[in-house]
C-alpha cells in the first residue's frame, strides 16, 4: 500500500491521527467485547452461535473486501474520505442496534457496523506514514497505542451510567456518539494534498491480482510462510477468547456487568505495561523468543480460564489477558518486519492484515459450534470450548517452532532461509 501525499507532517496532524485510536478503541470494547454478545445471548436468550455467525460473517466480508479497498485508496491517493465514510456507516449502524428490528435487526446492524469499523482501520493504519517521519514514526505510533488504551478505559466509564440506568441496550447509542466525537480531530487535522484521481473498475481487478500474486510468492519465503500459518492459528484462538470473554464471565462465573467493567479496566491497565515491557524484551532477545514467551502466557490464560471455579482468581486471569494481548500485538508485527523482504513490506503487511481477518472467521464458529454440540453439558461446555481454542493456540506454537529468525543486522527477509 503506498503512502498518501499529505501536507508536511505536523504535531497537529499527528495528534489528530492518534486521537482516532482513542475513538476507535471505545467501539470494540463497548460493542464487541462487553455488551453486544451479552445483549444477544443473555438479554435475548439466543445461542452463542448466533453471535459467532455474525462476527464471522462480518470478518469474512472484511477479508474479501480489504484488498479492493486498499487498492482503490492507493490508486486514488486518498485515505481520509474513505475513513470518514466507513466511520459514519459504523456510527449509524451502531446507533440503531436495539432500536430497529429486534434481535434479527440488531445482528444485521452489528454485521454492518463491524464491517465498516474494520474497513476504516485499513485507511487509519495507512495514514501513519503521512503524519510522521522516519525519525518519529515509532513515537507517533506509540502515542496512538497509549491513547487507544486510554480510550478503552474512558469508554467503559463514560458508557457505564447509561448501562446502569437502562441495561445493555443503552450502551450502543452513547458508544456511537463517542466514537464519532473523538474521531473529529483526525478528520479535521489530517490534511491530504495529493491530486484527486478518478475511480476505475480496474482498481478492483488490480487489488485481487496483487493479493493472488502475494499468496503465490510468499511460498518462496519458507520462514515467512510458516509464520503466517502460525499467526493464523494463534490469532484465531486469542481473538475468539477476547470476543467471548464477557459471555464466559457472566454465564460461567456469574459476573455482573459492573464486575466486567472493572475487569476490563484492569486488563487495559496491564495492557499498557505489557506493551512497554514487550517492546524492551523484543529489542533485547529478539521477536521470536519474545513471541514464544507471550504465547506460553496465553496457554496459562486459557488453561486457567478453563479450570478455575474460584471467581476472585479470574481477576488475575483478566490482568494477564490484557498484559499478554498488548505484548502479542507489540511483538508479532516486529517479527514480520524481521522476516519480510524490505522492498516488499507493504505487500506482505497487506497479506498480514488479510490473514488476521480470516483468522477471526473460524474461531467464533468453533466456539459456537462446540457449545451447540455439547449443550447438554451446561456450563462445562464453555470450558470445553476454551480447550478447543487452546488446541489452536498450541498448533500455532508448534508451527512457530520451525520458523528461523534472521539476524537483525543482516536480515533481508525470509528468503535467506528459503527453499
**For position 75, what pLDDT does the model report?**
67
**More confident call, 27 vs 358:** 27
pLDDT, the chain, mean: 86
Q: What does the pLDDT look like over 195-234, one tens digit per residue?
A: 565 656 666 677 677 767 767 777 778 888 899 899 999 9
Q: How far is 26 from 148, CA to CA, in rounded Å?
A: 8
In this structure, what C-alpha cell is assigned to residue 357?
481477518
Alpha-helical segments (H) within 77-171: 80-96, 102-126, 137-166
DSSP 147-190: HHHHHHHHHHHHHHHHHHHH-GGGGHHHHHHHHHHHHHHHHHH-
Instruction: List the single range of 11-15, 215-219, 405-409 with lowest mean pLDDT.
Output: 405-409
Show contacts of 203-208: CB within 8 Å, 24+ apart.
203/68, 203/71, 203/72, 203/75, 203/76, 204/68, 204/71, 204/72, 206/71, 206/75, 207/67, 207/68, 207/69, 207/70, 207/71, 207/72, 208/67, 208/68
- Rounded to whole angstroms, how far apart are CA atoms 155 and 25? 8
Instruction: Give the lowest-confidence range in 19-33, 173-187, 222-236, 403-417.
Output: 403-417
Is pTM beyond 0.75? Reply is yes
Backbone torsions φ then ψ of 131, nearest 5 degrees: -110, 10
Q: Which residue has the higher pLDDT, 74 or 300?
A: 300
**pLDDT tens string 140-153:** 776 777 788 889 99
Three-state DSSP class for 45? Answer: coil
What is the mean pLDDT of the segment spanning 106-112? 97
- pLDDT score of 418: 37
Q: Which of 22-31, 123-132, 285-294, 321-330 has the lowest mean pLDDT?
A: 123-132
Q: Fold match between 1-218 and 220-419?
A: yes
Residue with more model confidence, 98 or 178 = 178
Joined grid coordinates for residue 61: 466480508
Helical spans, DSSP H, in 220-344: 222-251, 257-285, 287-307, 313-339
Percent over 90 (pLDDT), the chain? 56
* Residue 6 dihedral angles phi and psi, to the nearest 5°: -130, 175
Which residues lie closer than 8 Å to 378 by C-beta, 6 or more apart?
none
The confidence score (pLDDT) of residue 197 equals: 57
Which pLDDT score is estimated for 2? 45
**CA 319, CA 50: separation in Å to the nearest integer?**
28
Of 405 and 50, more confident:
50
pLDDT tens sequence across 64-99: 887 777 767 766 667 898 899 999 999 999 999 988
Distance CA 114, CA 348 (A): 24
pLDDT in tens, 346-404: 567 667 777 788 888 999 999 999 999 999 998 999 999 999 999 999 999 999 999 98
Say which CATH class 1-218 falls into.
mainly alpha
pLDDT of 419? 29
Among positive and negative, which fits the CA dihedral 79, 80, 83, 85?
Answer: negative
**What DSSP state is assigned to residue 196?**
P
> Which CATH number is correct for 220-419, 2.160.20.10, 3.40.30.10, 1.20.1250.20, 3.30.1360.20?
1.20.1250.20
Q: To the nearest whole percent, how much of the chain has pLDDT over 70? A: 86
Domain extents in the chain: 1-218, 220-419
Question: Using CA atoms, how far apart are residues 33 and 365, in angstroms rounded to an integer?
Answer: 16
Q: Is the dihedral of CA 381, 248, 363, 330 positive or negative?
A: negative
* Helix, coil or strand: residue 3: coil
In this prediction, residue 276 carries a pLDDT of 79
pLDDT band at 306 (very low <50, low <70, confident <90, very high): very high
Q: For residues 33-57, give the mean pLDDT.
A: 94
**With 50 as the cut, is the pLDDT of residue 411 above it?**
no
Whether the per-residue pLDDT at 317 is higher than 80: the answer is yes
Quote the CA–CA distance of 76 and 196 in Å, as a whole number: 6
C-alpha to C-alpha distance for 312 and 319, rounded to whole angstroms: 12
Amino acid at each position: 500500500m503506498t503512502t498518501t501525499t499529505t501536507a508536511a507532517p505536523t504535531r497537529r496532524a499527528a495528534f489528530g491521527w492518534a486521537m482516532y485510536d482513542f475513538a476507535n478503541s471505545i467501539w470494540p470494547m463497548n460493542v464487541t467485547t462487553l455488551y453486544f454478545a451479552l445483549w444477544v445471548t443473555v438479554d435475548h436468550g439466543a445461542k452463542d452461535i448466533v453471535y459467532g455467525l455474525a462476527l464471522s460473517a462480518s470478518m469474512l466480508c472484511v477479508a474479501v473486501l480489504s484488498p479492493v479497498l486498499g487498492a482503490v485508496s492507493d490508486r486514488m491517493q486518498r485515505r481520509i474520505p474513505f475513513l470518514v465514510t466507513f466511520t459514519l456507516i459504523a456510527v449509524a449502524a451502531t446507533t440503531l442496534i436495539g432500536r430497529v428490528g429486534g434481535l434479527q435487526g440488531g445482528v444485521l446492524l452489528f454485521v454492518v457496523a463491524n464491517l465498516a469499523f474494520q474497513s476504516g482501520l485499513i485507511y487509519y493504519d495507512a495514514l501513519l506514514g503521512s503524519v510522521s517521519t522516519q525519525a518519529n514514526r515509532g513515537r507517533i505510533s506509540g502515542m496512538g497505542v497509549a491513547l487507544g488504551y486510554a480510550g478503552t478505559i474512558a469508554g467503559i466509564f463514560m458508557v457505564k451510567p447509561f448501562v446502569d440506568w437502562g441495561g445493555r441496550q443503552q450502551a450502543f447509542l452513547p458508544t456511537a456518539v463517542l466514537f464519532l466525537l473523538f474521531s473529529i480531530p483526525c478528520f479535521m487535522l489530517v490534511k491530504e494534498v495529493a491530486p484527486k484521481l478518478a475511480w476505475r473498475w480496474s482498481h478492483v481487478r488490480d487489488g485481487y491480482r496483487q493479493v493472488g500474486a502475494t499468496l503465490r510468492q510468499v511460498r518462496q519465503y519458507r520462514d515467512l510462510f510458516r509464520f503466517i500459518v502460525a499467526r493464523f492459528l494463534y490469532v484465531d484462538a486469542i481473538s475468539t477468547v477476547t470476543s467471548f470473554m464477557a459471555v464466559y464471565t457472566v454465564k460461567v462465573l456469574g459476573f455482573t456487568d459492573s464486575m466486567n467493567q472493572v475487569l476490563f479496566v484492569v486488563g487495559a491497565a496491564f495492557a499498557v505495561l505489557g506493551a512497554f515491557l514487550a517492546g524492551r524484551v523484543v529489542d533485547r532477545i529478539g521477536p521470536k523468543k519474545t513471541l514464544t514467551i507471550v504465547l506460553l502466557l496465553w496457554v496459562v490464560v486459557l488453561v486457567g480460564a478453563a479450570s478455575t471455579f474460584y471467581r476472585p482468581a479470574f481477576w488475575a486471569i483478566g490482568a494477564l489477558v490484557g498484559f499478554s494481548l498488548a505484548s502479542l500485538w507489540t511483538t508479532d508485527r516486529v517479527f514480520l518486519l524481521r522476516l519480510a523482504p524490505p522492498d516488499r513490506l507493504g505487500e506482505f503487511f497487506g497479506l498480514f492484515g488479510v490473514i488476521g481477518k480470516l483468522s477471526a472467521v473460524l474461531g467464533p464458529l468453533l466456539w459456537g459450534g462446540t457449545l451447540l454440540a455439547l449443550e447438554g453439558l451446561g456450563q462445562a461446555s464453555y470450558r470445553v470450548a476454551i480447550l478447543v481454542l487452546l488446541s489452536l493456540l498450541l498448533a500455532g506454537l508448534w508451527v512457530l517452532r520451525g520458523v528461523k529468525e534472521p539476524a537483525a543486522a543482516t536480515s533481508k527477509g525470509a528468503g535467506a532461509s528459503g527453499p
